[in-house]
Amino acid sequence: MTLDVLLGYHGVKSVSFDRHPSTAIHPRAALFLLRSVEIFRQLGLEDELLSESASNFDLDAGMIIVEKLVGGKVLASMQESDPAEVAKASPSRRLWLTQNMFEPLLRKRAKEFGAAQEFSETVVHYEELSDSVLVVVQNVQSKTYRKFKTKYLVSCDGNRSATRRKEGIEWQGPGVLGESISINFKADLTPYLGTRAKHGVTYISNPAIDAGFRLESGGKAGFMIVTRAGDKRSFSPDSISERDAKQYLKDASGIEDDIGIKVDSISYWSVAAFNAERFISTNGRVFIAGDAAHVMPPTGGMGGNTGIQDVHNLAWKLAYVLKERAGTSLLQTYDTERQPVAGFTMRQAYSRLQKRVFRKVPDEPELPDITCEIGYRYPSAAAAHKSPSSDQHEDPYAPLASPGSRLPHVPLVQNNIQISTLDLIKTNFVLFTTGQSSPWNEASKGTLVL
């Protein structure tokens, strides 16, 4: 859905297909990192999202590891946000948002931009032609078929992506790291939580269980991920009863009182760390993004955010090519830019899993969160590198403004309103010079060729 909005922002109408009947109705919370919020700022959504987030979460609380949710010793704190420090590098703030807050806002903005969103529809087949892609869609309810012809197809079809398999794209990375469960539950924890209610994620580690809570509705519901229960470190499908789930919730929460726990569902999933070897088809008209292109452990909240960055990178390139402002070779840079950055981010999520959950020394050093969020650098032929650097990242607090890196945030005043240099980036290229006498001022009057 984010791609719908971004394409519309760049003046391209699109149609998307979703097998679900509507946008999310569940209040599952997710952490939106700085680069994602900066992208929503560009789309004019930041203020509304900030208001929704601030009314439900403490934006600066971060995450903690404790022995138990209630009354347990604090073992570590991470991803705490100091607004004054963040403001030195970004005009935005990290946000916690629930899906049923976030998705309706995106859907509304997508409609305003003219995007067509088809629910209860799934793509069952596509064929890449020399000048287009033929797409066959089936309605989930009526089982009827429709055909579409499009210049390009972007598949965001999840970690089991049929598109990735069809294109023969292999996974790279550490692989499957464990079989875990998520327990969605309702129970009124509010009388017990105290200041623990403010944290977006609370990890639990004690002899009985390793788990993590995301609480919703002020502590009256949520879900808990379990990676270990006693000596049990792998959970096969349908191996956990409702009684087991309630016991796990007690072991992790530390609450012995009968608080009327209701288990809504138990889901089984693989903790994995993968990155696709390429993000584009051989013929160049089909792209993969999001979980179809990379799968990350949940530690650090990087997975969904990396998907948002994927489509942000791709949308403007599709717009430029479709409007004949650039040649099709520009689209190849989606792969050369995003694939290595997603791999870097995946490895950082894995390092956090090793340290926070497995409690071991990571294979790769854990870099600061803000470096992973806005300090990555694209190695791309689309950017002219006078002195190319092999570094995949830079310090956002000491940015170099080197080709391939994010434009540094600098506070500016425009019409008596404080803005950021990032606010000047819209749908066209922007030239920053050192003054009126800069030779770039004259050069900019020429024609830009991509």
Per-residue pLDDT in tens (0 to 9) along the chain, 450 residues = 899 999 999 999 999 999 988 765 555 668 899 999 999 999 999 999 999 888 877 777 778 889 999 988 999 887 667 889 999 999 999 998 877 788 889 999 999 999 999 999 999 999 999 999 999 999 999 999 999 999 999 999 999 999 999 999 999 999 999 999 999 999 999 999 988 877 778 999 999 999 999 887 778 888 899 999 999 999 999 999 999 999 999 999 999 899 999 999 999 999 999 999 999 999 999 999 999 999 999 988 999 999 999 999 999 999 999 999 999 999 999 999 999 999 999 999 999 999 888 878 999 999 999 999 999 999 877 666 665 566 789 999 999 988 899 999 999 999 999 999 999 999 999 988 888 888 888 887 765 555
Half-sphere exposure of 47 (CA within 13 A, CB side): 1
Q: How far apart (Å, rounded) are the C-alpha atoms in residues 167 and 154?
A: 13
**Residues 345-375: tens digit of each pLDDT:** 999 999 999 988 887 899 999 999 999 999 9
Q: What mean pLDDT is reported for the chain?
A: 91
- Check if the beta carbon of residue 320 is closer than 8 Å to that of residue 382: no
Of the candidates 51, 132, 127, 144, the residue with the CA atom closest to the CA atom of residue 93: 51
Q: Fold for domain 2-60+92-173+275-374? A: FAD/NAD(P)-binding domain (3.50.50)
Q: How far apart (Å, rounded) are the C-alpha atoms in residues 60 and 77?
A: 12
Ramachandran category for residue 217: left, alpha or beta (phi over 0 → left; psi -120 to 50 → alpha): left
- Cα angle 192-195-200, degrees, rounded to a multiple of 5: 100
- Check if the beta carbon of residue 289 is closer than 8 Å to that of residue 342: no
- Check if the beta carbon of residue 275 is closer than 8 Å to that of residue 172: yes
Where are the CATH 3.30.9.10 domain residues in the chain? 177-272
In this structure, how many other beta carbons lie within 10 angstroms of the beta carbon of residue 77?
13
Greatest alpha-carbon span in the chain: 75
Q: What is the pTM of this model?
A: 0.91
For 291-425, strand residue ranges (E) read 294-295, 411-414, 417-420
Strand partners, 206: 209
Angle between helices 2-9 and 34-42 (to 10 degrees): 40
Q: How far apart (Å, rounded) are the C-alpha atoms in residues 450 and 317?
A: 10
Q: How far apart (Å, rounded) are the C-alpha atoms in residues 442 and 39?
A: 31
Q: For 55, list phi and psi in degrees, rounded to 5.
A: -80, -10
Counting Cβ atoms within 10 Å, is residue 13 exposed (0-12), middle (13-18) or buried (19+)? exposed
- Check if the beta carbon of residue 315 is closer than 8 Å to that of residue 6: yes
Of the candidates 275, 313, 317, 272, the residue with the CA atom closest to the CA atom of residue 292: 275
Token pair of 126, please?
């596509």
410 secondary structure, DSSP code = -
- Check if the beta carbon of residue 293 is closer than 8 Å to that of residue 340: no
CATH number of 177-272: 3.30.9.10
Name the helix (H) or strand (E) containing 146: strand 145-150
Residue 49 CA to its chain's centroid (Å): 15
**Residues 401-412: tens digit of each pLDDT:** 888 999 999 999
Where are the CATH 3.50.50.60 domain residues in the chain? 2-60+92-173+275-374
- Cα angle 308-377-87, degrees, rounded to a multiple of 5: 70
- Check if the beta carbon of residue 342 is closer than 8 Å to that of residue 275: yes
CB within 8 Å of 314: residues ≥ 6 apart:
3, 154, 287, 289, 331, 334, 338
383 secondary structure, DSSP code = S
- Check if the beta carbon of residue 1 is closer than 8 Å to that of residue 103: yes
